[in-house]
Chain A
Amino acid sequence: MKLREVAVIGFGVTKFGELWDKSFRQLIAEAGAKAIFDAGISGKEINALYVGSMSAGRFIGQEHVGALVADCAGFSQMHIPAVRVESACASGGLAIRQGFMSVASGMSDIVVVGGVEKMTDVVGNEATNTLATASDQEWEAFFGATFPGLYAMIATRHMHEYGTTREQLAQVAVKNHANGALNPNAQFQREITLENVLNATMVSYPLSILDCSPVSDGAAAVILCAADKAKKYTDKPVKIIGSGQASDSLALHGRKDICTLEATVHAAKMAYKQAGIQPKDIDLAEVHDCFTIAEILAIEDLGFVKKGEGGKAIDKKITTLNGEIPINTSGGLKAKGHPVGATGVAQIAEIVAQLQGEAGKRQVKDAKIGLTHNIGGSGASCLIHILEAM
């Protein structure tokens, strides 16, 4: 099948955090506007809009999000197609893939892809309940399994099978906070220590509150364009050279191996094949560290290290900013924040910034090929994109 090449020609990200003053509508409008200005396009050139939002219905009682976002972006009179997609915490990544397919197929020349979540308009408990809808409501959540509980069970098994330790998990959080401290948009811009993580309040053993990503508000947007037209808008376009998506059983107990997210493995295979590269060709990656254990699984399942060696990799510091394969230079979900629907799109923004040489204090030297990895729930869906500087 002949597909057009697709490039990112601009991006915009809001601050992530507890943004009491900003509404859902304001956040997505802000991110969208930033992306459009960054790309230097006029609104009239946008052929379609894609937006990822996990649960506006439960967080702000609002559905019909595609139309809403087009409206608050100021596009209501342009009457363009506006699509809201949902794949739990991978909603943003899914929106990217939908936008990518729209341009690659030739149906659109330029699309705006956004991701947004406003999680603090509800009380903490309700936010937790809503996040839990990413798990199996009938057979996991109903019986008292929480979202952190599911990942904690993955951690317990990983510790049992591979000897991974709480200290190795904690180091993921420490590294990501160190990176986040260099990211002006990150929710947390302060470093933490290993002791902080190990002694923090236990959420679900072995994960403490500092092993878990926070509840956040925020939005991100990117502009996708046919690659052969990209240089018209920017002299630093970044091509999406691979896109992968995969699904797996909704419940953790339905997986073939509790310590492997097959959705990651299959989505990665798809993306690597399309890009014509191997894991070792990746220079840096933004992975889905909703919990510290998730980052350990990710670097294994993406093929950066062998299964079971994720903990050792952290010890050897190969995933730090100066390591062989920097992971989560943005601070990851842990330090940057995790406004669910926005995350997948913000990951693209970070890789683009890195490949354009615009990552400031977080810049990775000679970054040419980057990967984004976005997971839904406890691994029932996965979206992966590979980008290369043009």
Chain B
Amino acid sequence: MVDSAVPRFWREIPQRYNLLGNQCGVCNKIYFPPTESCPICRRKSMDKMKDFKLSGKGEVVTYTITHVAPEHFEGQAPYPIAIIQLDEGPRITAQIVDCDINDVKIGMKVQSTFRKIQEDGWLGAIYYGYKFKPVK
């Protein structure tokens, strides 16, 4: 993450805190993150996209256990990162938390939760967002 990217983060708060995507007014397909226009309907969908809040429920499509962590994530390794198929259709990439790393499986049902994602060092802003935990 580039230091001091506060406006970049702030703009995405509705997505990162609340999974706010959008829906095509023509074909009803749901997108996350929101798109300016629907890739299927293209021109016809411009100005017809509506806000849509995703439920945060989904299932693991694939995952990995990351042992060598990038900057800002060092203390958390090893951690699972997964691609999750949200119930409404879009896929999302996020960490899986609140479970043993050996229990992460393709097909596991998960639910979004609010966590700290990164900090911009000691002095910078704190960035919150979504992670996913298993649904019991």
Name A's B-contacting residues (CB within 8 A): 125, 128-129, 132, 136-146, 148-149, 152-157, 160, 201-207, 251-254, 258
Contacts and interface: CB of A to CB of B under 8 A. Distances in A.
A57 to B, nearest CB: 12
A152 B76 CA distance: 18
A143 B117 contact: yes
B47 to A, nearest CB: 23
Given A153-B62, A204-B67, A206-B64, 17 more contacts: A125-B71, A138-B8, A138-B12, A142-B117, A143-B131, A144-B79, A146-B68, A148-B66, A152-B64, A153-B81, A153-B83, A155-B64, A205-B64, A205-B65, A251-B93, A252-B93, A253-B92
A203 B93 contact: no
Contact of A146 (B69, B127, B131): B69
B17 interface: no
Contact of A142 (B62, B64, B118): B118
A142 B67 CA distance: 17
B92 to A, nearest CB: 6
Contacts of A142: 1, 117-118, 127, 129
Which 4 A-B residue pairs are closest in the complex by CB-CB distance? A152-B64, A253-B91, A157-B62, A205-B65
Contacts of A145: 66, 81, 93
Given A138-B12, A258-B61, A253 B93 contact: yes
B37 interface: no
Contacts of B76: 144
B64 A252 contact: no
B62 A203 contact: no
Interface of B: 1, 8, 12, 33, 61-71, 73, 76, 78-79, 81-83, 91-95, 106, 117-118, 127, 129-131
Contacts of A154: 62
Contacts of B95: 143-144
B116 to A, nearest CB: 11
Contacts of B61: 157, 258
B62 A144 contact: no
Contacts of A160: 62, 106
What is the predominant secondary structure among interface residues of chain B facing chain A? strand
Nearest to A146: B70
Given A153-B81, A156-B106, A258-B61, A204 B91 contact: no
A38 to B, nearest CB: 39
Given A129-B71, A139-B92, A205-B67, A156 B62 contact: yes
A153 B33 contact: no
> Which of B70, B91, B106, B131 has the most A CB atoms < 10 Å from its CB?
B70
Contacts of B12: 138
Given A139-B33, A157-B106, A204 B94 contact: no
Nearest to A131: B70
A203 B67 contact: yes
A139 B93 contact: yes
B106 A144 contact: no
B73 A144 contact: yes
Contacts of A254: 91
Contacts of B83: 153, 252-253, 258
Contact of A204 (B1, B64, B118, B129): B64
A156 B63 contact: yes
Contacts of A205: 64-67, 78
B67 A201 contact: yes
Contacts of A136: 93
